């Protein structure tokens, strides 16, 4: 009996001793580490308290800090650390950590070149080996052991034990990185991590990380990872990351004054650690309010760019983009007298020649890369650019040329790089001008290009600096329409261009300039103009675009100059010009200028018709009480017959030329078809009965309405014109008996 009591007493004492030892040991360890910290790592360490609970197997550390080499500035610190181990799970061959908790982590990493603020700690732990051979043997052995371990099941690598770490959390962390050499600073604020469990087995590990950037933006990352299969899935949500944080690094690539904007992303990444490049990426990436200020003070930027990624696989070089949306882009292009542009200045750091590798090694690398490189598969399902403006300034003429192209819109679908696709572009020019571009071809091969360009109602006075530079004459007025059909075949271009100019006029020649072309502009223009003050001519262009001597614009300009010189020396073509002014209703004499003759079969108006209408509404800027109604009239009976003939010729032209859509150049070819042409006559006799009169009338009225809308849109951009003081209509169906097709202007008072 006494022996049993003695045993119990001894056991109780041992338990007390163990508990006391466990209680006292943390304090001893803490005091030792603090006292000998500089010997251990070369830095001062502060630990407020270390505690161990033998009942819950929990270790707690409070108020910990490792200082910089100055002994006062914190390098790494935290408020509280707690870890709990469940020893009973060892019986089930499982290493179980039920909690890891860290609060108030603070880390500040600084870098200057290749030195970090912790380099001295690493160097203290790194000892130079005197036996290099032994080191290499040891390294090789370690590497082999590591490689072998990586091929094992995680539990096998741990002697048959599985590992489970649960309830990992980090609260209110702050991580600061500073590159002292370039002056950059990245501050991750309110850093938090939540990991329900990490399994070194065939179970998925879920990890959640969230933090804010001190300069703006926040990031959330959710990770699923299987330790055994090495499969992973990552969800990344980035919200309004302030891109200004990267400004110091931009100087290695561009010359700039300032940069701002934000980056957002919502991405899903799925793959395997053993082949990261084969991972599939999908989601949305966007940038907003981007503004890059150049050294000149001018800026480039965009309000929003959004990219929807359906699939991105680097290993397969397979990219499918749902959509690319660009909204509110703005840019400027400056051409300087030395031939450079602002883009050259901006990208100057990138243009510096790189150090050349030895020729043999370069050729081998290129051959190796070409052998491994997979063909690019890239498709953009939808491309849309809206609200985009570009300003161009050319400093090469004696008087700088400045021009703004606004309302640029780009639309495309199923765009890829290797097979032909179609892209449509539209834009607005000052004073009601418009551009339309239809491009067809493979983006990776410009030699497949088939492009059609149409410019309407272009105010020529804005281009006076070029006229003044090349001829000595400034342009004072005039509008132009331009149509160009361009086809490439093996880098050989064939271009058909037609130019329609109305009411162009130039001022007196500048005696203080030395123009490149000695052209008598006033005489040339006077002779070129017909009685309606109009100039029309075609400019064919052919050549190889890779020829250094080939210049598209130079050919067009040289053709115009040659034409001016030729007609200036041929006065027998002189015809009279009619000018008209006057008065009319409500005291304004419009005279014959109250009529604008039209072609009722034309799909749009000409430069001449636009200019006449714009001249008429000038009076509205002087008297706000006036209003004008442009009434369209024509003879429906005659127009139906003419339209029927035109439709038959159009259908005949499409059938014989194998075309499904037409442009201005095709329309000219259709008009030129002779009624007596035997092939056409046979076609007309066969198909004339297919055209119903009521259907023809309906289509004619639709064309009339389209002309009305087109004219109204152009007039509403003129000074003094409002939605109330100008209307454009068609006469009632019963009144469509006018012998000559025209717009008749009615003037009234509001």
Average pLDDT over residues 212-234: 80
The pLDDT score that the predictor gives to residue 6 is: 46
* Weakest-pLDDT range from 44-58, 189-203, 360-374: 360-374
Judged by phi (left if over 0) then psi (alpha if -120 to 50, else beta), residue 56 lies in: alpha
What does the alpha-carbon distance between residue 472 and residue 561 come to, in Å, rounded to a whole number? Answer: 13
Reported as a single tens digit per residue, the pLDDT across 278-298 is: 889 999 999 999 999 999 999
What's the topology of domain 585-749? 60s Ribosomal Protein L30; Chain: A; (3.30.1330)
**DSSP helix/strand/coil, 280:** strand
Residue 421 phi, psi dihedral angles, 5° rounding: -140, 170
For tokens 């990208």, name the residue: 347
Read off the tokens for 163: 């590992």
DSSP-derived pairing of the beta strands 94-103 and 184-199: unpaired
Q: Which residue has the higher pLDDT, 182 or 612?
A: 612
423 to 292, 382, 434, 439, 496: CA distances (angstroms): 28, 10, 17, 5, 20
What does the alpha-carbon distance between residue 84 and residue 97 come to, in Å, rounded to a whole number? Answer: 6
193 to 164, 168, 335, 530: CA distances (angstroms): 17, 8, 52, 80
Average pLDDT over residues 462-484: 90
CB 105 within 8 A of CB 170: yes
What does the alpha-carbon distance between residue 413 and residue 420 come to, in Å, rounded to a whole number? Answer: 11
pLDDT at 127 over 80: no
The pLDDT score that the predictor gives to residue 404 is: 94
- pLDDT category, 307, cuts 50, 70, 90? very high
- pLDDT category, 11, cuts 50, 70, 90? low
Give the pTM: 0.64
Average pLDDT over residues 260-273: 90
Every domain of the chain and the residues it spans: 2-121+155-277, 397-573, 585-749
CB 458 within 8 A of CB 499: no
The pLDDT score that the predictor gives to residue 254 is: 87
* Weakest-pLDDT range from 305-309, 408-412, 598-602: 598-602
pLDDT at 305 over 90: yes
CB 235 within 8 A of CB 267: yes
What does the alpha-carbon distance between residue 186 and residue 199 come to, in Å, rounded to a whole number? Answer: 32
Reported as a single tens digit per residue, the pLDDT across 50-69 is: 887 777 778 788 888 888 88
The pLDDT score that the predictor gives to residue 424 is: 93
3 to 7, 13, 626: CA distances (angstroms): 6, 15, 125
Q: Which residue has the higher pLDDT, 319 or 622?
A: 319
CB 317 within 8 A of CB 297: no
pLDDT at 573 over 50: no
- Residue whose C-alpha is closest to residue 200's, from 145, 156, 170: 156
- pLDDT category, 575, cuts 50, 70, 90? very low
Q: How many Cβ atoms sit within 10 Å of the Cβ of residue 596?
A: 23
* Element housing 204 (H / E): strand 204-213
Average pLDDT over residues 576-592: 36
Average pLDDT, the chain: 79
Most confident of 340-344, 431-435, 604-608: 431-435
Average pLDDT over residues 702-727: 91
The pLDDT score that the predictor gives to residue 582 is: 33
For tokens 């000409």, name the residue: 606
What does the alpha-carbon distance between residue 668 and residue 481 come to, in Å, rounded to a whole number? Answer: 15
Reported as a single tens digit per residue, the pLDDT across 363-406 is: 555 555 544 566 778 888 899 999 999 999 999 888 899 999 99
* Weakest-pLDDT range from 194-208, 660-674, 685-699: 194-208
Beta-bridge partner residues of 313? 318
CB 635 within 8 A of CB 482: no
Beta-bridge partner residues of 142? none
């Amino acid at each position: 009996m006494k022996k049993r009591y003695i045993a119990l007493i001894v056991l109780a004492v041992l338990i007390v001793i163990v508990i006391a030892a466990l209680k006292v040991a943390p304090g001893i360890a803490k005091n030792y580490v603090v006292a000998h910290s500089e010997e251990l790592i070369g830095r001062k360490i502060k630990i407020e308290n270390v505690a161990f609970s033998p009942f819950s197997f929990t270790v707690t550390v409070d108020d910990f800090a490792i200082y910089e080499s100055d002994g006062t500035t914190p390098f790494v610190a935290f408020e509280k650390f707690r870890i709990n181990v469940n020893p009973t799970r060892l019986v089930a061959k499982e290493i179980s950590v039920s909690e890891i908790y860290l609060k108030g982590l603070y880390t500040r990493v600084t870098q200057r070149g290749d030195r970090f603020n912790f380099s001295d700690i690493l160097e203290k732990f790194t000892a130079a080996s005197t036996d290099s051979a032994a080191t290499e043997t040891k390294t090789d052995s370690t590497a082999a052991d590591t490689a072998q371990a990586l091929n094992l099941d995680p539990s096998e690598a741990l002697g048959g034990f599985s590992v489970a770490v649960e309830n990992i959390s980090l609260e209110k962390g702050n991580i600061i990185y500073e590159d002292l050499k370039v002056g950059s600073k990245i501050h991750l604020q309110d850093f938090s991590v939540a990991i329900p469990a990490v399994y070194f087995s065939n179970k998925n590990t879920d990890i959640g990380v969230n933090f804010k950037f001190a300069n703006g933006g926040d990031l959330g990352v959710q990770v699923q990872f299987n330790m055994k299969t090495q499969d992973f899935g990552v969800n990344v949500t980035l919200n309004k990351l302030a891109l200004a944080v990267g400004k110091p690094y931009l100087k290695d690539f561009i010359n700039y004054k300032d940069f701002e904007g934000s980056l957002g992303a919502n991405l899903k990444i799925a793959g395997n650690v053993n082949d990261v490049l084969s991972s599939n990426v999908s989601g949305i990436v966007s940038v907003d309010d981007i503004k890059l200020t150049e050294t000149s003070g001018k800026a480039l930027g965009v309000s929003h760019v959004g990219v929807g990624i359906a699939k991105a696989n680097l290993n397969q070089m397979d990219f499918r983009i749902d959509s690319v949306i660009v909204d509110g882009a703005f840019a400027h292009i400056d051409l300087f007298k030395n031939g450079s542009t602002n883009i050259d200045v901006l990208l100057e750091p990138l243009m510096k020649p790189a150090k050349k590798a030895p020729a043999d090694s370069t050729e081998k690398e290129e051959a190796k890369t070409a052998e491994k490189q997979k063909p690019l598969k890239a498709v953009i399902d939808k491309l849309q650019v809206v609200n985009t403006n570009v300003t161009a300034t050319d400093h090469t003429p004696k008087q700088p040329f400045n021009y703004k192209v606004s309302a640029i819109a780009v639309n495309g679908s199923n765009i890829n790089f290797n097979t032909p696709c179609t892209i449509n572009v539209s834009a607005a020019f000052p004073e009601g001008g418009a551009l339309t571009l239809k491009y067809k071809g493979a983006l990776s091969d410009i030699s497949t290009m088939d492009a059609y360009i149409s410019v309407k109602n272009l105010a020529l006075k804005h281009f006076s600096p070029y006229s003044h530079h090349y001829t000595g004459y400034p342009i004072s007025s005039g509008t132009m329409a331009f149509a160009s059909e361009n086809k490439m075949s093996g880098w050989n271009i064939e271009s058909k261009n037609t130019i329609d100019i109305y009411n162009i006029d130039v001022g007196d020649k500048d005696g203080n300039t030395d123009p490149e072309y000695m052209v008598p502009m006033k005489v040339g223009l006077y002779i070129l103009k017909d009685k309606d003050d109009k100039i029309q001519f075609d400019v064919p262009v052919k050549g190889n675009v890779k020829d250094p001597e080939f210049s598209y614009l130079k050919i067009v300009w040289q053709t115009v100059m040659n034409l001016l010189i030729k007609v200036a020396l041929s006065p027998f073509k002189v015809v009279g010009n009619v000018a008209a002014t006057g008065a009319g209703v409500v005291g304004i004499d419009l005279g014959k200028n109250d009529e604008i003759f039209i072609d009722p079969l034309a799909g749009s108006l000409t430069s001449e018709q636009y200019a006449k209408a714009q001249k008429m509404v000038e009076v509205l800027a002087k008297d706000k009480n006036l209003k004008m109604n442009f009434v369209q009239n024509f003879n429906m009976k005659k127009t139906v017959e003419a339209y029927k003939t035109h439709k038959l010729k159009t259908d005949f032209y499409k059938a014989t030329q194998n075309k499904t859509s037409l442009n201005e150049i095709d329309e000219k070819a259709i008009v030129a078809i002779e009624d007596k042409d035997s092939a056409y006559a046979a076609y007309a006799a066969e198909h004339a009965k297919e055209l119903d009169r009521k259907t023809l009338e309906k289509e004619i009225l639709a064309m009339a309405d389209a002309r009305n809308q087109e004219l109204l849109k152009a007039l509403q951009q003129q000074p003094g014109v409002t939605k109330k003081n100008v209307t454009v209509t068609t006469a009632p169906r019963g009144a469509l008996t006018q012998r000559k097709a025209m717009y008749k202007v009615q003037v009234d008072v509001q």
